[in-house]
Each structure stands twice: as structure tokens, then as C-alpha cells.
Amino acid sequence: MIDPALARREGEWLRVPLGEKRPAGLEDGTHPHDARRRLIAEGVFPEKWLNRLFSTGGIRVEHGALWLKAFPAYDWTGHPFLSGGGEPAAAEALYEDDWCLVLLKPVGMPVHPAHPGMGGTLDEAAVRHVLRAGDPLPVRHIHRLDRDTSGPVLYAKNDLAQMRLDEAMRLKRIERRYVAIVHGVPRPRSGTIDAPIGRDRHHASRRRVTPGGDRAVTHYETVKASGGLSLVRVRLETGRTHQIRVHFSHIGHPLLGDTLYGAPADPFLSHQALHGESLVFPHPWTGEEITVAAPRPRWFDDALRRAGL
């Protein structure tokens, strides 16, 4: 019934041609209530989203097409992100379309505010990005990175995208790959760390492997080793706070520069040597697999050269 490839955005609306053999209940002039019921029965869209559209007059059937108000503008006027002082946050866009946005988070920038009104975050950069483009959509992050980890972060740009990407996260269909520099050489050189992670009751900022923690699974491969350090490539199956850092510390190979988890202080690096290398996710409208690569930052390449990696 719905061919995603034929749909087109027209301002705040998504126009979805229905073709000549449209199902009963979606003729031109169909009452929005009946159209909503038919769409719910078809199971094409989340019922919660359709109900939200219906409540705001966002469903129409006319001119041979289904019209859905999928891209309503958000009123960012007076938002704390935009009213604070200091340098406005900015980040490079690695991928963008009407549905989603991937920003490259630099080291030192948190994804979200630690307290209301806090600026200088990646969330602020996302808001400023859509406002500069003249398209004030309600951007919201789907996953997060530690403050001192760089890499790609995925944002939804409307409610349907958020619902579908949140579901993809729950079903582990969003793949996050990282590169890290660790002390020593992991044995075996490739494998899986399956160890539950919970809070460290002795240190508010730390997490630790503990039997009562949440399940955490990290897959890794050692790419190269030299001079007591190794370059590893990591894929997360779960997304616990500090997961990569905790797991590698747990097996005796803390990340370079990660003094919070047992690494010695490094004179050239004041944070962990961890970078998000790529992000793979199903597109929230088409379902197509999207792969977004994030270039390595200069500090990571410098650390590799110093280590002979």
C-alpha cells in the first residue's frame, strides 16, 4: 500500500501517493478518523504516532495521496540552549536528510546538558544546525557518547523517526564501532567480553563489573600491537555507561589515558584514547541500511604515531 520511495516532503507534510489500487477506506475525502483506523489496521505506522497526528489534524486523504503532517516545526524560541552566553556549540554533520542527522562529537563536548539551561553540548549544536538551515525540527539524540569520547551521534528529526530509531536501538539494530588504544595485548587477540556492569558504590563517577549489574557485551579485535600498547577495534552489542572503558580495564588492559579506570597518566593525552569509528542504522522511513563513517581526530592519529601503531 505504501511505497516509501514515492513519498515526498512538502513543507510540514509528507505526501504519500496511493496509486490506482488503493485499499478501501483511503479514498479521497475519507474522514481523518476513518483513515487513521485503516492505517492502524494496516500496521504500516506506529499507532501512537497516528493517534498523535490525528489529534493535531495531521492526517488527510486527497488528490490521490495520503498526507501526513510528519515534519511540524518546533518553536525553539526562548529555549535555554539559545539564550545563554558563551560561544555557540557547533559540530560537523556527517549525514543528514529530512528524517535524521548524524553529528561528529568532539572530545570534551557532552551530548546532553548535565543541568537545565546548560549550553556547549552536542544537543545544542543539533538545535543550532537545524535553525541555521531554516528547518526548526525537534531534533533529539538516539544514543550518547561519553564526554571525552569522540565519534558519530545519531539524531531523529521528527516523532516517527524517533519512535523507529528508538525501537531499532532496543532491537540492537544500530551498530556502533569504535577504535581504541589499550595497554598491553589482549589475550585472545580477538574475542567477546560478556560481563555485567553496575555502579561503583565507592566512586560516583565510576562503573564496575559486578554480578548484580546490567548485562554488557563487547566484541573486540586487536588490529596491531607495539611497545606495550595495542590498537583494537570494538563493536558494542549493548550500550552501558563507560562500557568499553570498564570492560578493558576489567581484563587488565585499560585504555591509554584513562586514569579513571586504572591507566597511568599520559603526558600527551588527558582523556581516554577512544573514538567512534562508524555508525550503522536502518533508515527510519525507507528501512535502508545507512553506514556513516567518522574520520579519526588528529589527537588519535598523534597517539598512534607515538605508540608506533
Catalytic residues: 146
- The string of DSSP letters for 182-248 reads EES--SSSEEEEE--EEE-TT-TT-EEE-TTSB--EEEEEEEEEETTEEEEEEEESS--TTHHHHHH
H-run or E-run covering 163 = helix 159-170
> Which residues are CB-neighbours of 289 under 8 A, at least 6 positions away?
280, 281, 282, 283
- Residue 205, number of CB atoms within 10 A of its CB: 9
- Residue 269, number of CB atoms within 10 A of its CB: 21
Cell triple for 31: 474522514
- The string of DSSP letters for 184-196 reads S--SSSEEEEE--
The DSSP secondary-structure symbol of 94 reads E
Q: Omega into 188 within 30° of 0, i.e. cis?
A: yes
C-alpha span between 298 and 223 (Å, rounded): 19
